[in-house]
Structure 1
Amino acid sequence: MVAAEGSHHIIRYVNPAFCRLVNQERDAMIGRPFSEAIAEGRNNECVSMLERVYRTGEPELLDDQEHSSEPASYWSYSCWAIFGTEDLPAGVMIQITDTTENVRFRKRAAEMNQALLISAMQQHELTQRAEELNRALEIATQAKTQFLASMSHEIRTPLNVIMGFSELLSVPNLSEQKRNNFGERIKRQADLLLRLIDEILDLSKVEAGRLEIERIEVALPELIADIQMVMRHLAEEKGLEFSLTADDLLPRTILCDPVRLKQILSNVIGNAIKFTAAGSVRVRIRVDQTEQKLHFIVADTGSGLTPDQASRIFQPFTQADSTTTRKFGGTGLGLDLARRLARALGGDTVLVKTEAGVGSVFEITVALEGASYRSSPRTSQKPNKDGDIRLDGLSILIADDGVDNQFLLSTYLTLAGAHVELANDGEEAVSMAMDGDYDIILMDIQMPNLDGYQATERLRKLGCKVPVVAITAHAMRSEIEKCFQVGCDAHLSKPVRSPALLDMVHRMIYDRPARPAQPDGLQDSAGIQP
């Protein structure tokens, strides 16, 4: 408690509690203005309040005024007038309460409430996020289940044919016609299975950002002729009319990835044929010099799509509806992969128009890079067939630890007239190569004791000059580069086909280029690396 007199608020009385509050002696404060009894620069509102109370005679209250900041302290003031003999204010009485603990408590409570509110909001957000993740997980689990079921069906179906007809081939007294028929069915289903596996692996490479795109000179008319030959055969098997027309200004060569371009065209045109029961599939090729794009327009008279189906057609592992899978088979990867590959080649794959029951039109574009228009006849080279290439008199060493692979490769080669010897691992391959006289070595990469990399490297250090062709299931660029780094002259990816193998051996021996110091322009498919 403090009693102050007059307009200058001269202190006339203080109680012991106030002395303790301001940490001053009573005698040091009596006779001094109230403003000097409190900390300098603080409680200006209190002094203003004293002046108003003294002037008006009306009591006032100030709650929780900050008195000091270090450490923080708060005072509350109650002030009322002391009236003199003429009923006029003669001074003021001030009651000061230290409310520091109350203020601190309220602040802590407010902070806790705010923290609880934030925590509740965060908990709500986490709950929502968890619910979203659960929904996404359920969708992903359902998609995974559907995908695995589809994959199981798509893989087991050709496997059933392959295994079944493989068993039938061992039936005694089987006619040559039936044996050839069974073999053709096995080959067709094996091709289907290989394409399925390639599509899954290619899609995973695209999503991982590891798809490797080449930019090499491609003989465009020959590539188109190959596609036309295959697609025409598929269409004729279904009784469909198939046509392919091209602009007169079609370039003779472009810079592109021939494997990926063929893959795109095969997927889109093959889809058109698959989903067309009657009528026609027409392909038109045109050149856009302004945009520097090569356009492939594929139009069919097939089942077409509803707007809902069209909105989902480019989603991976998705087909128009469940009946599509049951009726036509397939994984729903083709169009999604065709779009991604086309974009990697500087273009796109789009659905131009479609109508249920009428048909669809798709357009594929790729970048028109390095186009050459030199005059040359548009004739396609026929693919090699077993027997077209002869290897009479050649001595070939096959290094492979797989008995079935040894038998398959040696059969291909001996049927073409070559003499074949077998090594079961890298150590044996090195020993036989150094002691024997071979025209070419076919080197499997994954072998026990000494793998193909080590065996080839050792042969080169020992001075062996015989051409070495790496044969491996690894088709990644880094693996192919490693083959060349250790001294291989060429590369073949498994599964190895007879035409590619015979062509490779023939070219390596009779038309062998110098092995490169740096393996630029590597291919994922069979081919000599110049």
Structure 2
Amino acid sequence: MKSKKSYTPIKVLLSYVALLALVTAVGWFLYSENTVYNKLEDKIAFEKTKILKVSKLFSNIYKAESLGRKTIQTNSEKDFKSYLIETDSLKSRIDTLKQIVTTEYQKTLLDSVAYLLSEKTKNIQQLKAIKNKAEDEVSVNNAINEITRMESKLRKLVLRDFAKNPEQLGSYQRNVLRKYVDYLNQNIPDDSTNTLSKKASDSILANSKKLLTSVKLKAEKKKESLNFQENKLLKNEIAISEQLRKVLRIIEREIIINSIKNNTLKEKSLKKVNTVITASAIIGLILTLFFSILIVSDYSKSQLYKKQLEAANFKTKKLLKSREQLISTVSHDLKTPLSTIVGYTELLGNSDVNTKQSYFVKNIKNSSEYITQLVQDLLDFSQIEAGKITIEKVPFLLPEVINDVAKNIQTVYKQKNIDLVIHVDEKLNNRIVGDPFRLKQILSNIIGNAYKFTEEGFIKINAYKTTDDSFFSISIEDSGIGIAKGSQKLVFEEFTQANDNIEKKYGGTGLGLSICQKIIAILGGNLKLVSEFGKGSTFVIELPLLFDTSLNVTSEIEKRIFLNTKNYTFIVIDDDINLLNLTSSVLKQEKHHVLSFDNAVKALEAIKTTQFDFIITDIQMPVMDGFSFIEKLKNSNYTTYKNQPIIALTGRGDLEYSVFTKAGFTTVLKKPYSPKVLLETIQNILENNELPTVDINKSEEITSSKLYSLEPLKEFLNNDNEALYEVLNQFVESSEENLAHLENAIKEKDIFEINAIAHRIAPMFKQIEANEIATILNILERDNLEKSDLENLWNSLHTKTDLLFTALQKEIV
């Protein structure tokens, strides 16, 4: 499929940039407008303050005018003082208002208000003076009234003395009464106390009254003049008051106009903001829709591309799976005849052959070993690429691993004059936790290469802790041909050699170092190379360092002594007679009492009447499997069963560890297992130690292409040769019988029976490390076994078992 560049991320980025730019612009505009708006708000508030002050000034002026009118009316000094206090307060308020007005015109108007107030005060003072002058007339009137009262005291009669309302009398009556009053006044006797005569008194009174009347006339004329002045001043007062109000109204109107102007600007700002926000929302919506359409369009295309990629990916995975299956199948099909070739070559090499034939056998063997290594490398590479490689974390001794690998390789290249020097730091003598098998695989490859490319000189292997104690390093230095600097990276690539001549001269597939580098990376370390062409190479392996802190029993003898502190009774159940005998032998060597059964039903019958301490049982057995056995045992009322530990033995890889513990098993041992593992498991149970979780699903791996190894079996039997030969005899006989049953089941294509037989006999083949045979049995054990593969698998199995049994017969002899 043609690769098409996707512009979706760019479009998404542009859409975000455009929206961000829009938001930024709108934000900046809103910020600017908000600043303007706040300033207008401050101005409006300021104008409102001025309006309030002007209104307060109006109120105070009205109050001052009221006090002024009261002063004019009462002519009271107290009221005048109150007026003056209020006027001073008004002047103070005017000064305050002057400080907050913004125009010179307003300040001038306020100055005129202050001036008018001063004029108003002067005017009131003048009116007050006029009022004081008007009081002279009152004094004259009082004098005339007093003289009139004096006339009454001199007994001069008047009409009122005889009629209460003389003006209401008729003219005749009033004239008669007046003549009578005059007559009486003329004939009133003189008062003996008066020194003046009646006539003289009348004359004095008349003259005084005449004088006062004259004065009154002058006062009335003056009053007219004062009234004119008063009226003038009152008009002036009214004019001043009107002028004050006019000036204040002008100020107020100007302030209100400014406030209205600011409010108008405020409304315009709000409208502008509203317009911009609306426009921004519309633009944002348009941009969103536009880019959404573009993105949705690209998304549709990407979905199409995704489907195409998924189809291509599926095809690629299928091809990779096919490649993996092809490599596995080809490797398997190659290893089957290779095993036959290697086996017969060894048999042929051990027979009587002449020199020429021995040369042919040697070449056949070398070629077979080369092809075997190639097949193994392809399998390892395929497993790493598929992510199926498994890593263990078990305790081991690093010096033993290094020595074993190096010594074995030295034996192969013993004809070369090469000094092997091994040095391991004493700090690494304790057990460390890791994967010893993978470490052996790495060391075998690198040390093997060192021997291969070194004709003479030395190979130095040095193991030490790194400075931070979190890693340990193993350096492999040789004095071989070395690697040119430009080719050093190539040696870690698949199917690549440093140069073409190396493959021709030394052989090799070009996979070894690539596999080593990948495995080291999986282990959490790294691989370094320092080399100079013609002067040798140094490979440095760095791996995480973790010491084993668990109970470390250094020897099996100490372990046995520890276990032999008490003898226990074990019930062992296994349908495979060979493994049954092996497990029983290990326990018997520890002086324990063992009751062995090849059938779970028989074991249950014996348990009814037998006191015991442990049960060790296989899981997949005919008649009654391990799960059914433990269920019946737990549901029974046997007095001998008191929840004793039950250890499961299994070769199944389809069940989780929790399945066994939930069923009631104490722990699980996976077949094949070593005596050491069995005894350590029993010891952990006795000491109530935490039992390690067993990876039941861990797949079996071919760790060697050799036909078999009796070392595990010898370990089981404590190197008892007689017991070994007996077990081997029994194993060969029972295996031949089982294989005959297997052949019949394969002919009948009875998958269930094939699975059962393969499962039953596989553990013993694994126990003696007949790994190629065990691999075929593992395939035959699978439920998804293809019937079309049965014939090829049987032929391969038959060939390998014939070779194995022939070799084992020689061991027995």
Give the alignment's TM-score, normalised by structure 1.
Answer: 0.48
Looking at secondary structure, tell me which structure has more helix per residue.
Answer: 2
Larger radius of gyration: 2
Give the alignment's TM-score, normalised by structure 2.
Answer: 0.34
Looking at secondary structure, tell me which structure has more strand per residue.
Answer: 1
